[in-house]
């Protein structure tokens, strides 16, 4: 139980506030102005003072000095009727003093008295819209994507999703299913996750005793997603010699379980996904042409995060809200932090952003609302991504060497001695190379 002093000049307000505070199990005394409050402070010891900012005989802030000299300084919560004063009060009183803005709700009084501040505040914040129940983003590329999804979801056409790793292909697949009003379920499987021997059983099912370990009959994902949506992730990682089987299912709309003889009719929309580009698929022969045309009746390219940077704050807010819900925390982004996130390129796309937000939340003090951002945003894959093309056939050794030298220099902030050491060459050799690239005149 706390002893609370409520200082406010509106008797009707104090009357109800007292009822609430007493109901919460605390003892409460009231004062209508600064003089009365001062009087109480000499007679009683208080745990908490709820103090109106504007009182008939002066500002509640005048009481601060007197509270400071008390043997036991009560916690203070300032009450103001003006939202505009909020900012001033916040700056004025520092972190140890709470404030409430009228109209006040019961939960807010409860929260300040128990010290669990800000718990209520988060809810009225702008909610992030999830398009088709899954997708977040209001940028032009996303709006175009929504338009495509809306069109295609009304048909039963097979969709192939193309996009870099981490852009959210599975989320888009789920969105297509949600938008399509399909009766059946949404089943997802990863074609890259199964060995050649097992993928047949995963896709088409097997009969009892079809192979060692097939102790029972199993329905494949095609059967499971009857009248629904089947999502085949990493379709290009599917062993090429299994692809004719898949083609047969797609063309005839029947599956034969492994070890079975009966053709079982299937009816589902197949959404497939790959992180390879269309050109790459064509060149590298990871997908048979006939399969490609069956699957990619309607190909959709999902934009990478760097092409829709305006969505980064929305996504970051959504992720932190989710984490808050999960862990009972109250983290809030500051605008400058969101700007920092926006400035980064996110080679790992939304997945990297989510991972980054998660890590920042773990690093931050769970009692506060401030999120602690690491000083630099760095992904081990970021560098790799920029250097991968260097390792493709067709480039000269000099070319690759030059890129490696520059990448190393960048890593060590231009320290040539350190860079030479990392490259395993003498500093002199490094200088010679840089001379040859015509890069030393600038600095030396």
List of residues contacting other proteins (CB under 8 A): 10, 12-13, 16-17, 19-20, 23, 81-82, 102-106
What is the helix (H) or strand (E) element at residue 59, kind and residue range? strand 58-59
| Smaller CB separation from other proteins, 104 or 178 | 104
In this complex, which beta carbon is closest to other proteins, that of residue 51 or of residue 162? Answer: 51
* Chain centre distance of CA 22: 42
Nearest approach, Cβ of residue 15 and other proteins (Å): 8
Which one, 19 or 429, has the nearer CB to other proteins?
Answer: 19
What angle separates helix 312-327 from helix 349-363, to the nearest 10 degrees? 50
- The residue among 86 and 358 lying less far from other proteins, judged by its C-beta, is 86
E strands present in 289-390: 298-301
CA distance 182 to 381: 38
Nearest approach, Cβ of residue 118 and other proteins (Å): 19
CB of 29 to other proteins, least distance (A): 18
Report the nearest approach of other proteins to the CB of residue 51 (Å). Answer: 15
| Alpha-carbon 403 to chain mean position | 33
Q: Where are the alpha helices (DSSP H) in 154-257?
A: 169-179, 196-204, 221-224, 243-252
Of the candidates 146, 167, 131, the one whose C-alpha atom is nearest the C-alpha of residue 346 is 167
Instruction: Round to whole Å and give the CA distance between 157 and 159.
Output: 6
Q: Which is nearer to other proteins, 103 or 380 (CB)?
A: 103
Distance of CA 196 to the CA centre of its chain: 34
> By CB neighbour count within 10 A (0-12 exposed, 13-18 middle, 19+ buried), where does 147 fall?
exposed
Nearer to other proteins, 45 or 105 (CB): 105
CB of 103 to other proteins, least distance (A): 3
Using DSSP's 3-state secondary structure scheme, residue 188 falls into strand
Report the alpha-carbon distance of residue 422 to residue 412 in Å, rounded: 9
Q: Closest separation between CB of residue 37 and other proteins, Å? A: 19
CA dist list (Å): 119 to 22, 122, 392: 21, 7, 53
Nearest distance from C-beta of residue 53 to other proteins, angstroms? 12
Q: What's the CA gap between 148 and 159, in Å, rounded?
A: 11
Output 22 or 367, the one with its CB closest to other proteins: 22
């Amino acid at each position: 139980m706390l002893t609370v002093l409520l200082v406010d000049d509106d008797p009707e307000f104090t009357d109800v506030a007292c009822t609430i505070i007493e109901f919460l199990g605390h003892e409460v005394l009231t004062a209508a102005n600064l003089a009365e409050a001062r009087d109480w402070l000499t007679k009683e010891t208080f745990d908490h003072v709820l103090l109106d900012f504007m009182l008939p005989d002066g500002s509640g802030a005048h009481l601060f000095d007197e509270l400071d000299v008390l043997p036991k300084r009560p916690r203070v919560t300032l009450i103001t009727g003006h939202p505009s004063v909020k900012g001033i009060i916040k700056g004025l009183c520092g972190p140890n003093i709470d404030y409430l803005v009228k109209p006040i709700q019961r939960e807010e009084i409860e929260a300040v008295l128990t010290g669990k501040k800000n718990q209520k505040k988060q809810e009225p914040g702008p909610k992030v819209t999830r398009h088709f129940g899954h997708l977040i983003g209001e940028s032009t590329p996303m709006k175009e994507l929504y338009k495509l999804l809306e069109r295609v979801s009304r048909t039963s056409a097979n969709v192939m999703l193309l996009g870099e790793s981490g852009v959210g292909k599975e989320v888009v697949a789920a969105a297509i299913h949600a938008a399509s009003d399909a009766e059946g379920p949404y089943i997802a499987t990863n074609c890259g996750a199964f060995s050649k021997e097992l993928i047949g059983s995963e896709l088409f099912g097997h009969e009892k005793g079809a192979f060692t370990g097939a102790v029972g009959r199993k329905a494949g994902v095609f059967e499971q997603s009857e009248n629904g949506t089947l999502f085949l992730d990493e379709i290009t990682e599917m062993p090429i010699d299994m692809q004719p089987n898949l083609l047969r299912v797609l063309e005839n709309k029947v599956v034969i379980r492994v070890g079975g003889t009966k053709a079982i009719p299937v009816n589902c929309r197949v959404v497939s996904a790959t992180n390879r580009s269309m050109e790459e698929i064509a060149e590298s022969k990871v997908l048979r042409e006939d399969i490609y045309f069956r699957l990619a009746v309607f190909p959709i390219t999902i934009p990478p995060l760097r092409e829709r940077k305006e969505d980064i704050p929305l996504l970051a807010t959504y992720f932190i809200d989710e984490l808050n819900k999960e862990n009972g925390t109250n983290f809030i982004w500051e605008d400058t932090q969101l700007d920092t996130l926006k400035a980064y390129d996110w080679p790992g796309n939304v997945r990297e952003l989510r991972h980054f937000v998660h890590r920042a939340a773990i690093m931050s003090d769970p009692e506060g609302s401030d999120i602690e951002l690491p000083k630099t945003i760095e992904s081990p894959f970021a560098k790799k991504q920029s250097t991968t093309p260097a390792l493709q056939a067709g480039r000269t050794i000099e070319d690759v060497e030059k890129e490696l030298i520059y990448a190393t220099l960048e890593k060590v902030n231009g320290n040539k001695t350190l860079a030479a050491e990392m490259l395993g060459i003498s500093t002199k050799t490094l200088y010679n190379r840089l001379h040859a690239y015509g890069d030393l005149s600038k600095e030396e």
